[in-house]
Amino acid sequence: MFVSVLDIFIYPIYLNIHMTKAKAVQVQLAHSPTLNTVLMVEKTLQEAREMVKVAELKRRLPKKVMHSTLLQILDYLQESGKILITAKGVVWGYCPPARLRARVADGLEI
């Protein structure tokens, strides 16, 4: 069997590049929050019924959550319009559409 010098040197370089790309993808998916964790944070914020600081929210959660994971969840909830994040803390602000329509119908027009 004839093996050229070119085959010997190119194959390890290709393998190294391929492994590097696989590691980069693995790092991006390392700490994504699960649906159970998102629901747990939502429930805790709904039950708080007041402005809560992030540190206090972490203490109130029934299970420990990594800080970076909690921040990802809070970013998602803010983008979806369920919470408000201010300098003083986090507050639940979501109103289901049926209740919102009822409140608008009962409200005063200015």
Q: Which tens digits make up the pLDDT trace of 4-40?
A: 444 444 444 444 444 555 554 444 545 689 999 999 9
Domains annotated for the chain, with CATH where assigned, are 35-98 (1.10.10.10)
Q: Which tens digits make up the pLDDT trace of 43-54?
A: 999 999 899 999
**Which residues have CB under 8 Å from 69's CB, separation 6+?**
31, 32, 33, 37
